[in-house]
Structure 1
Amino acid sequence: MYGNQAINTNRYVGQQADLQITRRGSDWYYTVCALMGLTTLIVMGLAFRKPQTHRLFHYNTAAITSVACVSYFAMASNLGQLPILVQWIRPRSRWVHAAGTREIFYARYIDWAITTPLLLLELLLTAGVPTPTILVTIFADLLMIVCGLIGALTQTRYKWGFWTFGMAALFFIAYELLFDARRHANMLGGDPKKTFMTCGAWLLLLWFLYPIAWGLSEGANVIHPDSEAIFYGILDVLSKIVFAGLLLWGHRKTSPRALGRNIREPDQNVEKYHHGNGVSEGAHPNMSGSTAGAATQRPLPPHPNMSN
């Protein structure tokens, strides 16, 4: 047999849902996996052409796309999923009429729990936001992802309570980006401000489409898992790969110092040790870590066996 046989190969790995992806959905997931992997290689290649002090956003972006690559490989192989009883069976629907159980990819939420905080970190670092604001915004993001996962695994109408909690966290994130982070970006001005405005608006617009995708798939069981794969896949490509291109292009002329990040090269650390700690060039520290000139050194006492 030829072609993609991942679903048949992994059919007996764990329980299978009545409604799950077909070969077309698997092919699409593998396509997104390949795009994420290719983006990771390109970004890492670009990173090695930069000084070490200018690789922060390259490494962060490569981490995002590499995690997404692994996640999409799992989903394309029909792994990392659980069959969950649906709230609405919808017997008259041509797409989901056979659904007693629907497969829920928990691998997707593991991906989001890692990659979405990194996406926010890139935006908040670009705006020069202080660390406490970064931490509370990332906490809200993690709360949103956890609520989405618990809601997806819930078989009753209480899933919409978790959806509501997640939306509240999303609105808090939007507030931080639209008001607090934008204010800090305005203070920086120049390229950091332009990059934050462009990438922030792009990411925020896309993130408000994810709850719609959730409601049509894991939530209300309206669309087929293949359509779910296309919906989420397009959103992830736009919010990770396209976002990465916009961000890295915006930072092509921005130094870490412009963002308030004092990242030093290894030779600069050595220079700080010799010059920043009072060690002048040509002098050697003694055992106590301090130095003294020749004029201030005390003479050594004569040896007892030495004659006058």
Structure 2
Amino acid sequence: LCSTKPQNFTGVLEFLLLGLSEDPELQPLTFLLFLSMYLVTVLGNLLIILTISSDSHLHTPMYFFLSILSMADIGFTSTTVPKMLLDIQTHSRVISYVGCLIQLSFFNLFGCLDSALLSVMAYDRFVAICYPLHYQVIMNPRLCSLLVLGSFLFSLLDSQLHCVMMSHLTFCTKVEIPHFFCDPPQLLKLACDDTSTHKIIMYFIGAIFAGIPVSGILFSYSQILPSILRVPSSSGRYKVFFTCGSHLAVVCLFYGTGIGVYLSSVVSYSPRKAVVASVLYIVVSPMLNPFIYSLRNRDIKRALQRLLKSTG
């Protein structure tokens, strides 16, 4: 229960992250499983970055954006998983108030950056397919750099808005978060004061900062699809569509798991369901992205082969 005069502790309040399971027998298995997935995520995305940077054939806007997306994926999963692994290993689930806000800020920053970059990549495919003759002129290095910078600033604004809003909440002492990281919806549920206004603001911010990239993706593909259908031969249509296949798969995976997290926090009252949805969103999605791009992309596979031969 909250005290009669709750105080907003900014440096001394600590949260307890309950994690995935409180069963001590499952802790070693959980640690090994998530350590493996984290290493695969980091190494896979680093391999994509190294492959793109070392191969001149891949120095194009599409692969430039892909390398930035891989960096964002590493940052996204690194905001939560290492802390969870450390908690399991040290048997300490404590996170400070400041640490919680920092984790929340970076979680929103990299999550929003992923979303913005997927929208930028959709725009890149739109220009490549709908305006192929003007592609090099439109997608020049200056515009590509501005798109990445704009995505970062857009994500930073989203991150800071969430951080400022959460910093104004008042919490009770000995707060237990039924999650493995500082999840914003869970923090709202644990606040002592009335959070109805905060919830409205949070979901409004989420709708704006998720809605703009999604609108960009939908617009791009609404223009791409008619262009593909106008291609006379079926082999030509398949070739054009194939260039978008990996991006569409990543978009579906990212937003599909993201919607699952949102619905589990809004509709469901089960913390376990929210945790499972978050694992898919935070750990599984960034881990699968390198495989999706490398397995479905001939240029990446050839570049990987060249890289392996040169290192071997």
- Name the TM-score class by shorter chain: 0.5 to 0.7
Aligned-pair Cα RMSD in Å: 4.4
> Aligned equivalents of 2:278 and 2:253: distance in 1?
16
> Aligned equivalents of 1:106 and 1:241: distance in 2?
25
One-letter amino acid of the structure 2 residue matched with residue 207 of structure 1: G
Question: 1:87 aligns to what?
Answer: none
**How many angstroms does 1:19 deviate by?**
5.7
Question: Taking every aligned residue pair, what percent have the same amino acid on both sides?
Answer: 7
Out of 243, 254, 258, which is 1:203 matched to?
254
Question: 1:98 aligns to what?
Answer: none
Q: Are 1:76 and 2:102 counterparts?
A: no
3-state SS in 1 of match to 2:271 = coil
Question: 2:119 aligns to what?
Answer: 124
3-state SS in 2 of match to 1:128 = helix
Question: 1:239 aligns to what?
Answer: 285
Answer 1 or 2: which has greater helix percent.
2
Task: Indicate if the aligned counterparts of 2:40 and 2:287 stay in contact, CA closer than 8 A.
Answer: no
One-letter amino acid of the structure 2 residue matched with residue 211 of structure 1: Y
> Aligned equivalents of 2:166 and 2:35: distance in 1?
21
Relative to structure 1, the CA distance from residue 231 to residue 27 in structure 2 (aligned partners, 3 Å threshold; closer, same or farther) is farther
3-state SS in 2 of match to 1:76 = helix
Relative to structure 1, the CA distance from residue 82 to residue 173 in structure 2 (aligned partners, 3 Å threshold; closer, same or farther) is same
Relative to structure 1, the CA distance from residue 72 to residue 134 in structure 2 (aligned partners, 3 Å threshold; closer, same or farther) is closer
Task: Indicate if the aligned counterparts of 1:199 and 1:243 stay in contact, CA closer than 8 A.
Answer: yes
Q: 1:164-205 CA distances to partner (integer Å, 9 max, x unpaired)? A: 322223322443244333323455663554444433333222
Out of 196, 201, 214, which is 1:165 matched to?
201
Task: Indicate if the aligned counterparts of 1:65 and 1:240 stay in contact, CA closer than 8 A.
Answer: yes
3-state SS in 2 of match to 1:156 = coil
**How many angstroms does 1:35 deviate by?**
0.9
**TM score, norm. by length of structure 1:** 0.52
Question: 1:301 aligns to what?
Answer: none
Q: 1:36-59 CA distances to partner (integer Å, 9 max, x unpaired)? A: 222221332344344152553235
One-letter amino acid of the structure 1 residue matched with residue 261 of structure 2: Y
**How many angstroms does 1:73 deviate by?**
1.8
Which segments of 5 or more consecutive residues in structure 1 lack a partner in the other structure? 1-13, 85-103, 255-308
Q: 1:237-272 CA distances to partner (integer Å, 9 max, x unpaired)? A: 333223443355566549xxxxxxxxxxxxxxxxxx
> Aligned equivalents of 1:18 and 1:71: distance in 2?
11
> Aligned equivalents of 2:218 and 2:75: distance in 1?
29
Question: 1:306 aligns to what?
Answer: none
> Aligned equivalents of 2:162 and 2:31: distance in 1?
21
> Aligned equivalents of 1:229 and 1:60: distance in 2?
24
Relative to structure 1, the CA distance from residue 212 to residue 175 in structure 2 (aligned partners, 3 Å threshold; closer, same or farther) is closer
Q: Tell me which moved more, 147-156 or 228-237.
A: 147-156
**How many angstroms does 1:216 deviate by?**
8.2
> Aligned equivalents of 2:296 and 2:196: distance in 1?
38
One-letter amino acid of the structure 2 residue matched with residue 117 of structure 1: C
> Aligned equivalents of 1:134 and 1:18: distance in 2?
31
Task: Indicate if the aligned counterparts of 2:261 and 2:281 stay in contact, CA closer than 8 A.
Answer: yes
Relative to structure 1, the CA distance from residue 18 to residue 59 in structure 2 (aligned partners, 3 Å threshold; closer, same or farther) is closer
Q: Are 1:182 and 2:218 counterparts?
A: yes
> Aligned equivalents of 1:187 and 1:177: distance in 2?
16
Which segments of 5 or more consecutive residues in structure 2 lack a partner in the other structure? 1-12, 125-142, 168-183, 228-239, 301-312
Relative to structure 1, the CA distance from residue 159 to residue 26 in structure 2 (aligned partners, 3 Å threshold; closer, same or farther) is farther
One-letter amino acid of the structure 2 residue matched with residue 223 of structure 1: P
Q: Are 1:223 and 2:271 counterparts?
A: yes
Out of 40, 44, 47, which is 1:45 matched to?
47
**How many angstroms does 1:123 deviate by?**
0.5
Relative to structure 1, the CA distance from residue 146 to residue 243 in structure 2 (aligned partners, 3 Å threshold; closer, same or farther) is farther
One-letter amino acid of the structure 2 residue matched with residue 118 of structure 1: L
Q: 1:1-43 CA distances to partner (integer Å, 9 max, x unpaired)? A: xxxxxxxxxxxxx957496663446853653243122222133
> Aligned equivalents of 1:118 and 1:233: distance in 2?
19
Task: Indicate if the aligned counterparts of 1:195 and 1:250 stay in contact, CA closer than 8 A.
Answer: yes
Relative to structure 1, the CA distance from residue 105 to residue 180 in structure 2 (aligned partners, 3 Å threshold; closer, same or farther) is same
Relative to structure 1, the CA distance from residue 248 to residue 149 in structure 2 (aligned partners, 3 Å threshold; closer, same or farther) is farther
Out of 100, 103, 113, which is 2:108 matched to?
113
**TM score, norm. by length of structure 2:** 0.51
Between 1 and 2, higher relative CO (CA 8 Å, sep ≥ 6) is seen in 2
Relative to structure 1, the CA distance from residue 81 to residue 241 in structure 2 (aligned partners, 3 Å threshold; closer, same or farther) is same
3-state SS in 1 of match to 2:44 = helix
